[in-house]
Structure 1
Amino acid sequence: MDQWAGKVALVTGASSGIGAETAKLLAKGGMKVIAVARRLENLKELAASIKSEFNVQIYPIKCDVQQEEEILKVFKWAEEELGGVDVLINNAGVVVNKPIIEGATEDFRKIIDVNVIAMAICSRELVQSVKKRNARGYIFNINSIAGHYADLITMPISVYAASKYAVTGMTASLRNEIINAKLDIKITSISPGMVQTEMIEKAFESLGDVQTLLEGVPILKDKDIADLVIYGLSTPRNAQICEVIITPHEAIAPKNPRPFSNQ
């Protein structure tokens, strides 16, 4: 991690959950962190918390990743104020608890826009920033086990699984492009099982009391995923972690039935 101290990291979807926890650990590790999301007040609270706990500053910026011009403004600000972005954590994501066969087209578009297109735009801009400076970089795509084993998820999640399969494919394509361009940029896809985050709680509140539903369900914490980002950044320059699939360790979890799968 020391090799990235003083470098600039951009975290999308940083207002809560995995994004917020990752921003904290990156800042603690000495990186200059740009935290973006739609909810600026949450970002400001995160910045204050990090300042209080670690005595370091992060940069909260409001950004709706569905709007390309807002993404471009963030990268432009980063270039003008901090010199550019070195590490990108593509964390922003959305899920909708509705079946495809009864779903709204606007939900389909929102999921693809946030989970796939915004990730492609941010990745493109990171690569261009690194290439312009002849620097080194790292991209982390926060994927999902849904992007590998959609058949395990029997509850309705609209086109979420489809979007995550797209992330799996896009990560592979980006890696090949980066290799062909001879750029010093690593890219890692992190695919968690269920993580207890605000996104999950909001998406599934229509099923009833989410906290009650989650009791006894093997589940990951947001810090578990953030720790993997730090681990990736700690690897030597000659080593690249291509894909990580992380699931709860069921041997130490209660054995209640799972409400979200028949597996």
Structure 2
Amino acid sequence: MTVVGARERRVRTGGIELCVAELGDPAQPTVVLVHGYPDSKEVWSEVAARLADHFHVVLYDIRGHGDSTAPKPLRGGFTLEKLTDDFLAVADAVSPDRPVHLVGHDWGSVQSWEFVTVKRAEGRIASFTSMSGPSLDHFGHWIKERVRKPTPRRVGQLLGQGAKSWYVYLLHTPVLPELAWRGPLGKRWPKFLQRVEKVPDDGYPTRSLPTDASHGAWLYRDNVRSRLNHPRADAHAHAPVQLITPLGDAFLSERLYDELERWVPRLTRRTLPAGHWIPRTRPDQLSAWIAEFVTAVESGRPSPSAASGRYADRFAGQLVLVTGAGSGIGRATAVAFAESGARVVAVDRDAEGAARTADVARLIGAPEAWAETVDVSDEQAMEKLAEKVAAEYGVVDVLVNNAGIGLSGSFFDTTAEDWRKVLDVNLWGVIHGCRFFGRQMAERGQGGHIVNTASAAAYQPSRALPAYSTSKAAVLMLSECLRAELAGRDIGVSAICPGFVNTNITSTARFTGVDSEEEKRLQKRTARLYGLRGYPPEKVAEAILRAVVRNQAVVPVTPEARGTLLMSRFTPRMLRAVARLEPPL
């Protein structure tokens, strides 16, 4: 496996040769990607390819890995001081006149923390993006503070990280790691990554894995104990830092970064629902965040952490598509994601409404927002939209199937055409969205989330809403079925069930069995009643974001929605009795 289209060169430093690969235009800002253990530079191939359209991208095999030569002897050849020498030699070779933007994963991040905190590298680093690798100095202080002032919480954190660090102890044993990597472990490692970390079976890791892993054991032996026992007191970052924390990291606890602001005055935090090897499993998201951060630093704009939304660390940079976004719950949801720094695609059959929502999203904090016009009931139009979004904006991370219409009236007054219209939008619109955008998520293999807007009417029978309630009940069951099927692909599915929410669906809902004049009167009356209820769509939007973060299955939003859900489970006879009541006209 190679980095496609890369230009390679050799950089000599400290008696070794480093293999350096470059992509993109050297006149653009330089982004240096540093790999971890037991990887080689090819771990970055997917991220590098995406960044190369806008930046000068540099990858290098650290000493003793990939096509770089190893120091002799190995002992003492992998200290952080020597790794810093290597980085500075690479930076001087590829970007002699401008500071570089540094990105590190795993041990690439561990050593990059050294680069960004030592005096001799000051001025050579414009920014640093860290993932899955703490500073050993910060880690050492973190341990000492918890040992010196133990509390039940702090002791629990120590024990938790100690359990996650089991492999570190093994790597300090003599000879055993080398024998394991050159033997059975090296052969089984690719399958482990595919099965446990869900790394795609695309030719990674490379054939140099046994040698890389054997040499890399000295990264731990030469640095870990000495730095943890005697951490530097001056390990303050001299460049802005973006921290990306995978929430499912099997090797590192989130708590390691609790006091990071003490060491990093300009810090942007991100979280990602993924495992440890995110350069292979989430290259789309990483490249978007890296590009956004580098661009902000280069332009002197505030860092992406300026997004004000409650979940900015989770959604900033993600691509979110919302149907029915021209007004009501859809618009409020698009704006809420925009506040959290997401890139937003506002979809509605009302072109002006979608455009207004996209404008508001950009003003409120979305780095990018687009408006698309489509009728969600049109299967071919939805398929074309999915193809266009994937080609122009990327694969959607969060899909919100929100578009819907209302219909009230008795069963016998509801015509077959009435049924078709309601089911086409409320059910088939959701099905089309899940099929086309959900399939793209599944094929990408990097997880995602689907939100389907159902209703409290999905489990609250009503003699006045047979068609509407049926469509929403079907959406609820569809969501549950999809949730079961897609769980193994790390795609969550949530059904949102609002109750009486003050949106314009009430003024546009149709009423069967009455003339046009009576229908207008009923629309105005319903809108007035919902207005008096005064439950804003912004609260539903907040529930939607929370459902994605928590991966909730069914979310009743309003008090009445929560109450009727409890009644449907514990007192269904009472709920059926309520359903027989004549609605007020």
TM range (shorter): 0.7 to 0.9
Residue aligned with 1:189, SS: strand
What amino acid does structure 1 have at the position aligned with 2:423? Answer: I
Matches within 5 A, 1:113-262: 113-150=424-461, 153-154=462-463, 156-179=464-487, 182-203=488-509, 205-207=520-522, 209-210=524-525, 211-214=527-530, 216=532, 218-235=533-550, 240-248=551-559, 261=583
What number of residue pairs does the alignment pair up?
244
Distance 1:84 1:55 in 2: 17
What amino acid does structure 2 have at the position aligned with 1:199? Answer: I
2:304 counterpart residue number: none
Distance 1:96 1:112 in 2: 11
Q: Is the 8 A contact 1:15 1:36 kept in 2?
A: yes
Q: Is the 8 A contact 1:11 1:90 kept in 2?
A: yes
1:249 shift after superposition: 7.1
Higher relative contact order (CA 8 A, sep 6+): 1
Distance 1:10 1:112 in 2: 21
What amino acid does structure 2 have at the position aligned with 1:37? Answer: D
Moved over 4 A (4+): none
1:203 shift after superposition: 1.6
Distance 1:64 1:110 in 2: 12
Residue aligned with 1:3, SS: helix
Residue by residue over 1:205-249, the C-alpha shift from the partner in whole angstroms, topping out at 9 and shown as x without a partner, is: 441633544464x352111110011212333xxxx3111112247
Q: Is the 8 A contact 1:188 1:243 kept in 2?
A: yes
Q: Is the 8 A contact 1:95 1:158 kept in 2?
A: no
1:77 counterpart residue number: 388
Residue aligned with 1:209, SS: helix
Distance 2:560 2:420 in 1: 34
Q: Is the 8 A contact 1:192 1:247 kept in 2?
A: yes
Q: Is the 8 A contact 2:319 2:397 kept in 1?
A: yes
Residue aligned with 2:344, SS: strand
Structure 2 residue runs of 5 or longer lacking an equivalent are 1-310, 511-519, 562-581
Distance 1:74 1:108 in 2: 25
What amino acid does structure 2 have at the position aligned with 1:191? Answer: C
Distance 1:215 1:17 in 2: 13
Matches within 5 A, 1:79-94: 79-94=390-405
Q: Is the 8 A contact 2:506 2:523 kept in 1?
A: no
1:138 shift after superposition: 0.3
Q: Is the 8 A contact 2:341 2:365 kept in 1?
A: no
2:318 counterpart residue number: 7
1:146 shift after superposition: 0.4
Alpha carbons of structure 1 residues 33 and 261: separation in structure 2 relative to 1, 3 Å: same
What amino acid does structure 1 have at the position aligned with 2:398? Answer: V
Q: Is the 8 A contact 1:24 1:50 kept in 2?
A: yes
Distance 2:531 2:319 in 1: 38
TM-score under structure 2 normalisation? 0.40
Alpha carbons of structure 1 residues 100 and 219: separation in structure 2 relative to 1, 3 Å: farther
Q: Is the 8 A contact 1:108 1:158 kept in 2?
A: no
Residue by residue over 1:42-67, the C-alpha shift from the partner in whole angstroms, topping out at 9 and shown as x without a partner, is: 11122223333436431100000111
What amino acid does structure 2 have at the position aligned with 1:164? Answer: K
Matches within 5 A, 1:21-32: 21-32=332-343
Cα RMSD (Å) of the superposition? 2.3
2:330 counterpart residue number: 19
State percent identity of aligned pairs: 30
Distance 1:209 1:7 in 2: 39
Larger-Rg structure: 2
Distance 2:445 2:363 in 1: 35
TM-score under structure 1 normalisation? 0.85
Q: Is the 8 A contact 1:75 1:85 kept in 2?
A: no
Distance 1:119 1:10 in 2: 13
Matches within 5 A, 1:56-75: 56-75=367-386
